[in-house]
């Protein structure tokens, strides 16, 4: 089931930010039949009031419209217009008789787990999947692994999420074919289990790669007690398939166990180069980075998203949960 997200979209200060903003009131259009008129608000991503003016004589007016939401229906004689549908990141407002449509919000970044936003090509809140089983197609490629399954006891919204347990390498992660995409904005709400005493090396949670194998890949994850990030353990990005071998960017941002975080990843690929950035809860932890010496088949052909949990050389057994996953060609916000 797709989750419609509530709340008003905010004015993005960067590709992922979603701070509050207010759209200007709609400017009036030309008069409709029998005196009806409609307003078009300036704000995108906010609520739309689908109100309509009364007719004169009293017949239905023309519906208000919003670039952030669908048009409200026309008002019946001497009565209020019906509410407009919610915009991207917005909520529907009831229409009032004789008022023009107005919108609030800013850049209208996609929020929640809605598949209705411009540019969204994958989303899942795992509510329609069967608890205890691997998440179902068509969103995810079929997989017989047992370490990843839908969890009916832990969720960011709703009642279910994807749980990734202890597993070496990405074979058991949830895979999605995104070969048609060269620029991806990915958002997943993640929750980490408590670290074990065996914590070490690298744990991947969201990965991109031209094959289902572990190399070459761009891996977003965590390193603890690891020699590569010994001075700055926490969120990291590791890339191979570039000249000179594997490279790791250590953020030094450690995450707490048993709480939800909004993980946002921007991934790009072009002939000879790949780019990435990472944000946690809307704040940059790995800035925009481009490697212009990619030697693997990054620029065209197959590309897969790998979501869940994978372990690279460590024997840590703590799980990772994912919920409200969205992939888009447009920036994706954190709400709700």
Other beta carbons less than 10 A from residue 124's beta carbon? 29
pLDDT at 261: 97
Residue 333 domain flag = no
Residue 115 domain flag = no
Query: Among the three residues 51, 80, 108, which one is the final residue of a domain in this structure?
Result: 108
Residue 267 domain flag = yes
pLDDT at 231: 80
Query: Are 319 and 263 in a shared domain?
Result: yes
Query: Taking the complete model, does pTM exceed 0.75, yes or no?
Result: no
pLDDT at 102: 38
Residues of the chain with pLDDT under 50: 1-108, 112
Query: Are 99 and 141 in a shared domain?
Result: no
Query: Are 80 and 164 in a shared domain?
Result: no
Tokens 């990772």 sit at which residue? 320
Query: Are 266 and 158 in a shared domain?
Result: yes
Q: How many domains does the chain have?
A: 2
Query: Are 211 and 279 in a shared domain?
Result: yes
Rounded to whole angstroms, the Cα distance separating 54 from 96 reads 10
Query: Are 104 and 125 in a shared domain?
Result: no
Residue 113 domain flag = no
Rounded to whole angstroms, the Cα distance separating 172 from 142 reads 10
Query: Are 126 and 80 in a shared domain?
Result: no
pLDDT at 196: 59
pLDDT at 267: 98
Rounded to 5°, the CA angle 133-184-18 comes to 95
pLDDT at 335: 83
Residue 171 domain flag = yes
Q: Regarding beta strands 174-177 and 304-312, do their DSSP bridges make them parallel or antiparallel, or are they unpaired?
A: antiparallel
Residue 298 domain flag = yes
Query: Are 202 and 296 in a shared domain?
Result: yes
Cβ-contact 218, 305 below 8 angstroms: no
Residue 84 domain flag = yes
Query: Are 146 and 193 in a shared domain?
Result: yes
Query: Are 7 and 138 in a shared domain?
Result: no
Query: Among the three residues 85, 108, 131, which one is the final residue of a domain in this structure?
Result: 108
pLDDT at 197: 52
> DSSP letters along 273-312, please?
EEEEEEEETTEEEEEEEEES-B-SS-SSS--EEEEEEEEE
Query: Among the three residues 54, 82, 108, which one is the final residue of a domain in this structure?
Result: 108
What domain range is 2 assigned to?
A: 1-108
Query: Are 201 and 294 in a shared domain?
Result: yes
Rounded to whole angstroms, the Cα distance separating 77 from 61 reads 8
Query: Are 76 and 141 in a shared domain?
Result: no
Domain CATH code at residue 293: 2.60.120.200
Residue 114 domain flag = no
**What is the per-residue pLDDT across 129-141, written as a single tens digit (0 to 9) for each?**
999 999 987 889 9
């Amino acid at each position: 089931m797709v989750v419609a997200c509530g709340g008003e979209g905010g004015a993005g200060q960067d590709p992922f930010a979603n701070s509050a903003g207010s759209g200007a009131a709609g400017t009036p259009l030309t008069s409709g039949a029998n005196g009806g008129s409609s307003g078009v608000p300036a704000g995108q991503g906010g609520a739309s009031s689908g109100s309509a003016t009364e007719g004169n004589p009293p017949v239905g007016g023309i519906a208000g419209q919003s670039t952030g939401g669908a048009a409200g229906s026309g008002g019946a004689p001497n009565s209020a217009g019906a509410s407009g549908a919610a915009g991207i990141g917005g909520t529907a407002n009831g229409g009032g008789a004789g008022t023009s449509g107005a919108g609030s919000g800013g850049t209208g970044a996609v929020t929640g787990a809605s598949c209705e936003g411009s540019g969204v090509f994958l989303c899942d809140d795992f509510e329609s999947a069967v608890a205890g089983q691997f998440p179902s197609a068509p969103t995810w490629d079929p997989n017989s692994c047992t370490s990843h399954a839908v969890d009916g006891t832990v969720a960011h919204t709703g009642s279910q999420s994807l749980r990734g347990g202890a597993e070496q390498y990405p074979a058991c992660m949830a895979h999605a074919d995104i070969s048609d995409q060269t620029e991806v904005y990915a958002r997943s709400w993640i929750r980490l289990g408590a670290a074990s005493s065996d914590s070490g090396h690298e744990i991947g949670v969201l990965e991109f790669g031209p094959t289902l194998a572990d190399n070459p890949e761009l891996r977003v994850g965590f390193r603890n007690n690891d020699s590569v990030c010994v001075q700055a353990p926490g969120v990291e990005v590791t890339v191979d398939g570039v000249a000179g071998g594997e490279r790791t960017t250590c953020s030094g941002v450690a995450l707490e166990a048993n709480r939800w975080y909004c993980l946002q990843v921007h991934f790009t690929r072009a002939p000879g180069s790949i780019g990435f950035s990472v944000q946690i809860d809307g704040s940059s932890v790995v800035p925009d980075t481009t490697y212009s010496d990619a030697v693997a088949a990054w620029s065209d052909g197959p590309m897969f998203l790998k979501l869940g949990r994978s372990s690279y050389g460590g024997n840590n057994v703590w799980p990772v949960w994912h919920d409200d996953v969205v992939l888009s060609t447009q920036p994706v916000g954190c709400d709700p």
